[in-house]
Chain A
Amino acid sequence: MRNIRAVIFKELIHILRDRKTLVLIALMPLMQVMIYGFGVNTDVKHLRTYVYDQDQTYLSRRLVDSFVHSDYFVVEKKSFSLQDVSAGLNKGRAQAVLIIPPKFTADILKKKGSELQMIIDGSDSTPANVALNSSQAIVSAFLQSERLIQVPVMPITFQPRLWYNPDLKSTFFMLPGLIGLVLQLMVPMITATAIVREKERGNIEQLLVTPIKPYELILGKIIPYIIIGILIAASIVTAMYFMFQVPIRGNIFTLFCLTLVFLIVCLGLGLWASTVADNQQQASQIVMFFAMPSILLSGFIFPREAMPVVVHHIGYFIPLTYFVKIVRGIILKGMGFGDLIAQVWPLLLMAAFVIFFSIKRFGKRIA
């Protein structure tokens, strides 16, 4: 116990004395919250739109207005030629183009039927999808509101509702998962480099001839980083609650307990990386090697449901997959420990596995 305490104390001095790293540790989580909160917004709105209105009547103008009022489209320019329209799309100034044919109103009133065209820049799939779906909805709503079609009496009234995130805000979706992302990015890295540093600077050589046991050294070195990990998680939770009004519906204690389990997995990864690497640079490369697929395949950004079967199954071996579900479950849906059992046990298993093997490897490396 005394030895562990001595190592913890010494490690804290290292951390506090290394100002640059300390600033990084403090700023990185906040920076990520800002980036994902303000920057990474998958709610596509305000698409730049060119309007080529060849009709110029009240009805055509009302149609344009209903596009604008939807908030999905902004009239970037009123065009007067097809050349201008295609140039706008080609040069990326327009993401969508609305082309209203001549005699639009006249044809409608004569019940002849008119053709309305929208051209969408399909090179970026997300805004293209939004433009496609919303334009269809806008047009059919327009038809109803202008009483251009009879509203039929439906045998079924279909009323979909969105729970947990009714406005489909991407901050609600992104920020809770960010706790996992930041821990996955930072904790293995700082743990691995802290341990490898002892090897690199020859400190291990001196420790070897002291009566300290490998497990005492490991625990002493790891505990400060557990504290740092918890502080990182707390700072993200605070930032997303106060800056982005993400509601925390579940129990915060459950959240931190399970965060601790995930932290242990991350620490184990760092520890394992430190037994493989000879220097700090190698250690951080190994850690990054695992961090990238974790982030991409865990469902943090891309839905796992959309992945091919093989890739989907790889996700089951990634700790972040379970943790992302856990944090979203607790924060957005107010889930409790019992609801999350399916996610908790794989994570516990991984924690036990990674700690057992890395300590075993660490002991061997030292001997």
Chain B
Amino acid sequence: MNNIAIQADKLTRKFGKFTAVDEVSFSLPYGSIFGFLGANGAGKSTTIRMLCGILAPTSGTGQVAGFDVQTQSELIKTAIGYVSQRFSLYSDLTVTENLTFYGQIYGLSNSDLKNRIEEVLLLSGLDKYRNRIAAELSGGWKQKLAIINAILHKPRIIFLDEPTAGIDPISRRSIWELLYQLAESGVALFVTTHYMEEAERCNTIAFISRAKILKIGTPAALKHEISGQLLQVECSPLMKASRVFSKLEGVIGITVYGTTMNINVKDLEKSKGLVAKAAKEQEINIVSMQPISATLEDVFSVLDTERET
């Protein structure tokens, strides 16, 4: 069997004159987690909607589970699971009532459904809340319910639109454990997120900004690409320094972290000299200055500033 879960080739979606997604291409094998990163309104949700078969692309092609997004959207719907950004199950139904309803919609036979519900309840640890009204679950449990609801019919691909937004760190960790288990069982996961430490958990990540994919790669490769170009400076007064340094030649962007700042530069050695000189002139006290390796957040902000300039 073909090992490609999702194959997108120059997927484009226009709304009137506005291009929401512009020639997005990537491929995702089964058993791996694809992190889709980008600011709000960058085109993440539109891409997901096209891949889920609920929005036809204006141009380009895509295969999801081997089905064409243009012509076989109904088949795609049976092959995928979807976890939306906002809790979209019925909050006045209990955990099992929700699962039963969706299981029936996905065409599971009554006996299969019963077994399957037990399986997913155990998998997620939700069995102790099985008769609780969904509205009374905490954010983390709600999201777990949404995830097990999406895997009831054993889809081989799951789309998760910001599955951990607004959820506490401990619940987030256990949700990711659940996602890893799914990936291990051969399911392909397509995850959008704003959290950089979550992006690091993905096998492949793609940055989308204003409708275009800017970079695709493993987290390590992406970080490697810009490491050596980051200068960490501890100095005071910080905000004044940030204003001064940002005007220096060769500086792409500055991100302030508490008492230090990361300066993205084109040439590390040249910028070091310029920063030191400017600090002296403007009476800025530099405590330390060293090149560091990038985090994904740096990668993200560099990419975004590069696109703006």
Give the nearest-CB partner of B78 in chain A.
A211
Task: Report the separation of the CA atoms of residues A210 and B74 in the bound assembly, to the nearest whole angstrom.
Answer: 9
Whether, in the assembled complex, A166 has its beta carbon less than 8 Å from a beta carbon of chain B, the answer is: no
Bound-state CA distance A18–B54 (Å) is 31
Beyond A10-B90, A203-B90, whether A211 also contacts B105 by CB under 8 A is yes
Decide if B106 is an interface residue (CB 8 Å cutoff): yes
How many angstroms between the C-alpha atoms of A205 and B48 in the bound complex? Answer: 12
CA distance A3 to B77 in the complex (A): 15
For A209, the closest partner residue in chain B by CB is B82
Q: How far is the CB of A141 from chain B (nearest CB, A)?
A: 66
What's the tally of chain A residues with a CB closer than 8 Å to chain B? 24
Cα separation A13 to B89 with both chains bound (whole Å): 14
Question: Does A24 interact with chain B (Cβ within 8 Å)?
Answer: no
CB neighbours (8 Å) of A202 from chain B are: 84, 86-88
A152 to B172 Cα, complex, angstroms: 102
Check A209–B104 contact: CB distance below 8 A. Answer: no
Interface of A is mostly: helix
What mask results when residues 200 to 215 of chain A are scored 1 for a CB within 8 Å of chain B, else 0? 0111111111111000
Given A2-B107, A211-B78: A10 in contact with B101 (beta carbons within 8 A): yes
Q: Name the interface residues of A16-67: CB closer than 8 Å to any CB of B.
A: 17-18
Residue of A nearest to B92 (CB): A17
Q: Are B86 and A210 in contact (CB under 8 A)?
A: no
Measured in the bound complex, the distance between the Cα atoms of B138 and A15 in whole Å is 24
Q: How far is the CA of A2 from the CA of B78 in the complex (A)?
A: 16
**B93 adjacent to chain A (CB < 8 Å):** yes
| Contact (A210, B105) CB under 8 Å given A10-B97, A13-B97, A205-B84 | yes
**Contact in complex: A18, B86 (CB < 8 Å):** no
Cβ of A3 and Cβ of B104 under 8 Å apart?
A: yes
Tell me, in angstroms, the Cα distance from A161 to B80 when the chains sit together.
Answer: 74
Chain B residues within an 8 Å CB radius of A203: 88-90
Which residue from B87, B91, B100, B102 sits with its C-beta under 8 Å from A210?
A: B102
Within 8 A of B (CB), among A141-189: none
Across-interface contacts of B88 in A (CB, < 8 A) = 201-206
Kindly state the separation between the CA atoms of A18 and B90 in the bound complex, as whole angstroms.
13
Number of interface residues of B (CB under 8 A): 26
Residue B148 interfacial (CB < 8 Å)? no
Q: Could you tell me the distance between the alpha carbons of A205 and B201 in the complex, rounded to whole angstroms?
A: 27
B151 lies within 8 A of chain A by Cβ: no
Among candidates B86, B91, B93, B106, residue contacting A211 with C-beta atoms closer than 8 Å: B106
Q: Is the CB of A6 closer than 8 A to any CB of chain B?
A: yes
B52 within 8 A of A: yes
Report whether B89 and A209 are in contact in the complex, using a CB–CB cutoff of 8 Å: no
Q: Are A209 and B54 in contact (CB under 8 A)?
A: yes
Q: Is A93 an interface residue (CB 8 A)?
A: no
A170 to chain B, nearest CB (A): 42
CB closest chain-B residue, reference A204: B88
Q: Is the CB of B93 within 8 A of A13?
A: yes
- Cα A203 to Cα B101 with chains together (Å): 12
A–B pairs, 15, beta carbons within 8 Å: A2-B104, A3-B105, A10-B93, A10-B97, A13-B93, A14-B90, A14-B92, A17-B93, A202-B84, A202-B86, A202-B88, A205-B84, A206-B84, A208-B52, A209-B159
The interface of chain B, by Cβ under 8 A from chain A, is 52-54, 74, 77-78, 80, 82, 84, 86-93, 97, 100-102, 104-107, 159
Pairs of residues from A and B, 6 with the lowest C-beta to C-beta distance, nearest first: A6-B104, A206-B88, A209-B82, A202-B88, A10-B101, A205-B88
